[in-house]
Structure 1
Amino acid sequence: MNETIKRELIYVSYYFMVQFRQIFRYWILGMLIGSGVSVFAKNRIHRLFAEMQKKKWGIAGLVPACLLGIASPLCMYGTIPIAASFSEKGMRDDWLASFMMASILLNPQLIIYSTALGTEVLLIRLISCFFCGLTAGVFVHFLSKKRPFFRFDGFRVKESRDTDPNPILRFWKNFGRNIKATGLYFLAGIFLSAVFQRYVPSEQFARLFGDQNEGFGVLMATTVGVPLYACGGGTIPLLQQWLWEGMSVGAASAFMLTGPATKITNLGALKIVLGKGKFILYLIFIMLFSFLTGFIVNKV
């Protein structure tokens, strides 16, 4: 093998192992907690949301709907059938919108992953995702007064895969599925971070996404989040490296919103329940909200 190639592989491997050691414990802890919530608390969370129908909270119900959406461990394809079953029982569309929007953006597993980015970034992610879900619910509240906002035809709650009678075995089987589902993305994110660290000059990156170029940097991060985001765990190493290289916190917060909100699997499900016109409104909403959030974070 060419000596130059060998040297470059050594450099990339070194950066990979440094990043791996920094992130691995957050990934494992996130999956452990995510599996625990999924096996032992998921039904309770969804039961609490269902019980909200008995309350006459009006628009104030958007707050608990957001919080329960964040607490739910399901992905969007798991959340929509649950929302469809709630809709059949008469759940308000604005509450459903807040629940689904918050569930898209955040879950217990991703919260633990995000602690690797530091307390400040974690708090910004929690607050921005909460307000994004809240704002989505407010919009739907005013847009759905005359007719249903969502089209849940064909969506039904799937049978749970956590069926082993032994709760400990249920937990470890769920944990194994989480490793299988996220492991490749996690390693790919670390590898891309290592390549980025080796070959992208930090000065150029800081000029593009840093505080001194805050408006354009936030806009770029908002746009980059659309094609690049594949898995929450896979983007944490990239974000950690980008922030270290000089990315502004506002640009990072914009990426953390547009990324999961425009993840291709999420978009596929949302296109079905929204229809073409409302789906376009959704994309406009998430891009504008992400840009404004990033801009405000940089200013504050």
Structure 2
Amino acid sequence: MQTVKSIWDFLQTELLGMSWLNRLIGDLLNACGLDTAGKVGGSVQFFIYDTIKIMVLLGVLILIISYIQSYFPPERTKKILGRFHGVGANCIAALLGTVTPFCSCSSIPLFIGFTSAGLPLGVTFSFLISSPMVDLGSLVLLMSIFGWKVAVLYVVLGLVIAVVGGTLIEKLHLENYVEGFIRNANTLDVPQEELHFKDRIKYAWEQVLATAKKVAPYVLIGVGIGAFIHDWIPEDFIVKVLGTGNPFGVILATIAGVPMYADIFGTIPIAEALLAKGAQLGVVLSFMMGVTTLSLPSVIMLRKAVKPKLLGIFIAICTVGIIIVGYFFNAIQYLIV
């Protein structure tokens, strides 16, 4: 059993966490005369290490996930979802959301397409919630930073929010609060061309390049913020605002995430730095969920498709769900970290 644990720890710290890279960068910077124990040197090391680590993991993950996603084009996804009913359909929609676009703004066009195709409104909202919040990339990235227990729980609870949220919206019968041009749209059932292995690899590589180009600025900004928090903001301040001493830390973190626009890749370095400084786990994860699911640009885009009442209910369900999950993680942090 100890051997298995040792192998797992090695995979998590050296392969996923790429600790060897951090040590290598630290040695190189010290050799160049930059003291990595100081604020400037520490910030430079954090920035270089996290940027390389996230972009490498990003490339590998997008390649794998996009290859899987090539089997689920919109028409096929619509057909799969159409076979299920009730809570089962919400569960399948939430799971399919894990292999689709990585940010909420990218998910909204698919949400509109599914709604136009006549899929139940609650099912499409389960997809919309899970797609940016709990994609497969988040599982691997969270494992590299927080360990497998936190990563698995984050994904499971994110899926629960998606299923419960979609089910509640379905029970409230809010179909009339979808904009008319979407409800009355006609969709064509276009036959899907079967792709060969080379086609799927080509598609996946194109997705790697396109996603990396789109995500890179947010990664750099996120890593920059993380480096600043990591080496320049006093630990006492972080603990006071986001630590155990502030019972409203989860709520503050969730609200703070809303005006931002980033995906899981851009929020990881900020979350990593906050946790290292003493912020509670639930506070950090609530911030990540708030940014990825309720970012202001995505809310503005969604408003074009749904009326204010439905939009407000969607925001309320997600916000309450995220806050509950945050306090849950705070309560069990000592067990899983």
Is TM-score (shorter-chain normalized) higher than 0.5?
yes
Cα distance per residue 1:31-53 (max 9 Å; x no partner): 32223322552442642452231
1:241, distance to aligned residue in structure 2 (A) = 0.7
Cα distance per residue 1:72-108 (max 9 Å; x no partner): 2354344333333333433111111111111132323
Residues 227, 79 of structure 1: CA spacing in aligned structure 2 closer, same or farther, 3 A cutoff?
Answer: closer
Kindly report the root-mean-square deviation, in angstroms, between the aligned alpha carbons of the 2 structures: 3.0
Does structure 2 conserve the Cα–Cα contact (< 8 Å) formed by 1:34 and 1:109? yes
CA–CA separation in structure 2 for the residues paired with 1:168 and 1:64: 25
CA–CA separation in structure 2 for the residues paired with 1:103 and 1:152: 24
Q: 1:276 aligns with which of 297, 300, 308?
A: 308
In the alignment, is residue 245 of structure 1 matched against residue 277 of structure 2?
Answer: yes
Alignment of 1:168-183 (within 5 A): 168-183=201-216
Cα distance per residue 1:110-140 (max 9 Å; x no partner): 3333233222332232122111101211211
In the alignment, is residue 127 of structure 1 matched against residue 156 of structure 2?
Answer: yes
CA–CA separation in structure 2 for the residues paired with 1:170 and 1:102: 23
Residues 79, 186 of structure 1: CA spacing in aligned structure 2 closer, same or farther, 3 A cutoff?
Answer: closer
Which residue number in structure 2 is paired with residue 195 of structure 1?
A: 228
Residues 175, 129 of structure 1: CA spacing in aligned structure 2 closer, same or farther, 3 A cutoff?
Answer: same
Does structure 2 conserve the Cα–Cα contact (< 8 Å) formed by 1:45 and 1:71? no
CA–CA separation in structure 2 for the residues paired with 1:268 and 1:42: 29
Residues 200, 125 of structure 1: CA spacing in aligned structure 2 closer, same or farther, 3 A cutoff?
Answer: same
Residues 26, 198 of structure 1: CA spacing in aligned structure 2 closer, same or farther, 3 A cutoff?
Answer: closer
CA–CA separation in structure 2 for the residues paired with 1:136 and 1:251: 21
State the AA in 1 paired with 2:136.
P
In the alignment, is residue 102 of structure 1 matched against residue 152 of structure 2?
Answer: no
In the alignment, is residue 28 of structure 1 matched against residue 21 of structure 2?
Answer: no
1:180 aligned counterpart, secondary structure: helix
Cα distance per residue 1:190-223 (max 9 Å; x no partner): 221222223211012112211233x221122122
In the alignment, is residue 204 of structure 1 matched against residue 210 of structure 2?
Answer: no
2:259 aligned counterpart, secondary structure: helix
Does structure 2 conserve the Cα–Cα contact (< 8 Å) formed by 1:150 and 1:274? yes
| Paired residue total | 286
Cα distance per residue 1:272-299 (max 9 Å; x no partner): 1221222222222222222222122222
CA–CA separation in structure 1 for the residues paired with 2:186 and 2:39: 50
Does structure 2 conserve the Cα–Cα contact (< 8 Å) formed by 1:30 and 1:110? no
CA–CA separation in structure 1 for the residues paired with 2:108 and 2:229: 36
1:273 aligned counterpart, secondary structure: coil
Q: 1:52 aligns with which of 52, 77, 81?
A: 81
Q: Percent identity?
A: 19
What runs of 5+ residues in structure 2 fail to find an aligned partner? 1-33, 188-194, 333-337
Residues 181, 93 of structure 1: CA spacing in aligned structure 2 closer, same or farther, 3 A cutoff?
Answer: same
Does structure 2 conserve the Cα–Cα contact (< 8 Å) formed by 1:106 and 1:129? yes
Does structure 1 conserve the Cα–Cα contact (< 8 Å) formed by 2:62 and 2:137? yes
What runs of 5+ residues in structure 1 fail to find an aligned partner? 1-5, 158-162
1:242, distance to aligned residue in structure 2 (A) = 0.5
CA–CA separation in structure 1 for the residues paired with 2:294 and 2:99: 20
CA–CA separation in structure 2 for the residues paired with 1:270 and 1:149: 12
Residues 156, 100 of structure 1: CA spacing in aligned structure 2 closer, same or farther, 3 A cutoff?
Answer: farther
Does structure 1 conserve the Cα–Cα contact (< 8 Å) formed by 2:42 and 2:231? no
Residues 37, 197 of structure 1: CA spacing in aligned structure 2 closer, same or farther, 3 A cutoff?
Answer: closer
